[in-house]
Amino acid sequence: QKEVEQNSGPLSVPEGAIASLNCTYSDRVSQSFFWYRQYSGKSPELIMSIYSNGDKEDGRFTAQLNKASQYVSLLIRDSQPSDSATYLCAVNQLPAGNNRKLIWGLGTSLAVNP
Amino acid sequence: GAVVSQHPSWVICKSGTSVKIECRSLDFQATTMFWYRQFPKQSLMLMATSNEGSKATYEQGVEKDKFLINHASLTLSTLTVTSAHPEDSSFYICSASKEGKTQYFGPGTRLLVL
């Protein structure tokens, strides 16, 4: 059973702090990794994608990938109340065909307190 | 950009009727589209993967005769919930895969079956 695991939270951080979200995956052959943000009652929106080991930065967001340890993390610097949402980690599963199905974590709820 | 639209955004119907939901990729061609369902405070559940011009691949436990999927073009996929019942009430979300990697989500359709 291929799995993606996240701490459900809630993770509570004060405004302006760094929020650190973690995700581990079980399938070693996974090659594409994604972080989505989902506000309550809304659909997911893509925050970051990462494909190779190391860090990838985009504004206040940094994704970190370590394939040897099979984890991917998301750092949010200078957290804002508007960052309060559920963050979903998704990992690409490589099927035999052309369907790029993602394996989803259950999400981590983040609350940024003013 | 990568914009995905869904229509309608919400629908209320009587038990026993059928409901069609459209998913369109507005500014890119999507060879693969995905249909998800999400119940309140639960995680995304993949229902099926749809490739343009071929039959959809349904996840285990999803009735293909109840949830009809058509992917007639590179920019349009439809999900028809046939003979809807109250237990089908949910948030239905589509995503479209750009360049075979990243999934971009539509805004979702809320279905309420009375």
Mean pLDDT (chain A) is 91
Per-residue pLDDT band at A111 (split at 50, 70, 90): very high
Output DSSP code: residue A12. Answer: E
Q: Stretch B23-46: mean pLDDT, rounded? A: 92
Instruction: Give the model confidence (pLDDT) of B48-78 as tens digits.
Output: 999 888 889 999 999 999 999 998 899 999 9
Higher-scoring residue by pLDDT: A31, B17: B17
Per-residue pLDDT at A29 exceeds 90: no
Q: What residues in B contact A43, CB-CB < 8 Å?
A: 91, 93, 105-108
Helix (H), strand (E) counts: chain A: 0, 11
CA distances from A59 to A14, A28, A73, A75 (A): 19, 29, 16, 11
Contacts of B43 in chain A (CB under 8 A): 88, 104-107
CB pair distance less than 8 Å for A99 and B103: no
Q: Is the model more confident about B12 or about A32?
A: B12
Residue A44 C-alpha, separation from nearest chain B C-alpha, in angstroms: 6
Residue range A37-66, pLDDT digits in tens? 999 999 999 999 999 999 999 999 999 999
Confidence of residue B41 (pLDDT cuts 50, 70, 90): confident
Report residue B35 CA to chain centroid gap: 4
- Residue of chain B minimizing CA distance to A31: B101
Q: Residue A33's beta-bridge partner residues?
A: A50, A91
Question: Residue A96: pLDDT band by 50, 70, 90 thresholds?
Answer: very low
Contact A43 B107 (CB under 8 A): yes
- Residue B18 Cα, gap to closest chain A Cα (Å): 23
Tell me whether residues B101 and A43 touch, CB distance under 8 A. no
Residue A11: pLDDT over 50: yes
Q: Please give the average per-residue pLDDT across A78-95, as a whole number.
A: 90
